[in-house]
Structure 1
Amino acid sequence: MAPLPPPDPLPEFVYKITPTAPPDPIPEQYPLSDLDRQDGFIPITADLFFKDFTSFYILKLRLANFDQSSVKWDEVDGTNGCPHLYGNFGVKDVVAAKEFRRAEGQSWKDVFEREKGWLE
C-alpha cells in the first residue's frame, strides 16, 4: 500500500498515548514501548489498543519538530489524518502531558469530546 500524502494544512500537534505517567522530567530520548517499536506512535488509538484501560496519559507533541520523512499518514474517517511517527522524541518535542480517565460505561470518544480544547 502506498503511503498517503499528509493533510493540508498539517496539524500543529500529534499525540502519544502511554498507559503510565511519563517520566518526570521527560528525558532527551523517550523510552519506546513495544507498541512504538512495532507500529510507530499512534494518536488517539484508545478504542483500538487501550479499550480495557480506565486511565492513561497523552503526550502532546509538536509535529513541526519531526523530520516529515519519518511521518507516515493513515486514513481515518475518509481523511489522511492519522500520523505514525517513526523515530523517537524527547523533552524538546513534548508540549504538555495529561492524564485521561473514563468512568464505567463511558467511551474514550466521550472523554475526548469533553477535552476537545486540550486535544487541539
Structure 2
Amino acid sequence: MAAPSPLPTHLYKILPSAPPSPLPARLPLSDLDKNDGYIHLSTSEQVPGTADKFFADSEELFLLKIKYEVLAKGTDGDGEVKGKGQGKAELRWEEVGRGCFAHLYGADLGRGNVSEVVGVRKEGSWGESLELEW
C-alpha cells in the first residue's frame, strides 16, 4: 500500500513502560512484534486511537519518537543502515482494519534511530492527552 501524502515527519512506537535509559542499541521486541515479524508504528494522528484501543487501562505510556526519514533509509537500532547482503531493513505501509500503518521489517529500534523518548500521563482519554508532531 502507498505511504500517506504528505509523508509524516515522525513515527511513534507506543510502549506501556519506560524503556531502559540510556537507550541500548537494540530494544527488546514486544510479544506482538515478535509474533507478527515486524515492529508496529503509528503516525502522530494514529497514536491516540491506537493508545485508546490497546492501552486504555494504562495511566502512562512511553512513546519512541523516530524521524521518518531515518527509518525510510533502513537505519537499524545501532545507527547503521542495513542494505543488501545485511538482511535489508524496510519500512512498509500496510492496510490494517483501522487504516494504513507503518511496519518496520528487518531492523530494531534503539539509540541509533530513536530521536526521543516521550512519557505521557493520561488525562481523560488518550486522544485528549496526546499532542504530537505530524
Give the alignment's TM-score, normalised by structure 2: 0.69
- Counterpart pick for 1:94 among 86, 89, 114: 114
The one-letter amino acid paired with 1:38 is: N
Candidates 9, 15, 39, aligned match of 1:12? 9
RMSD of aligned C-alpha atoms?
A: 2.5
Q: Does 1:26 align with 2:23?
A: yes
Whether 1:85 and 2:84 are equivalent positions in the alignment is no
* Gapped regions of structure 1 (runs ≥ 5): none
Amino acid at match of 1:95: S
Query: TM-score under structure 1 normalisation?
Result: 0.76
Alignment partner of 1:65: what SS?
Answer: helix
Q: 2: distance between equivalents of 1:83 and 1:101?
A: 24
- Corresponding letter in the other structure for 1:111: S
Mean alpha-carbon deviation: is it higher for 60-69 or for 21-30? Answer: 60-69
Match status 1:61 vs 2:58: no
Name stretches of at least 5 consecutive residues in structure 2 with no aligned partner.
76-88
Cα displacement (A) at 1:30? 1.5
Aligned equivalents of 2:117, 2:69: Cα separation in 1: 18
2:104 partner letter: L
- Choose from 29, 34, 37 the match for 1:37: 34
Aligned length: 110
SS state of the match for residue 109, structure 2?
Answer: coil
- Which letter does structure 2 place at the counterpart of 1:84? H
Identity percentage over the alignment? 37
1:110 to partner: Cα distance: 0.7
Instruction: Show CA shifts across 1:50-72 (max 9, x none).
Output: 11111110010112122397222
Amino acid at match of 2:62: Y
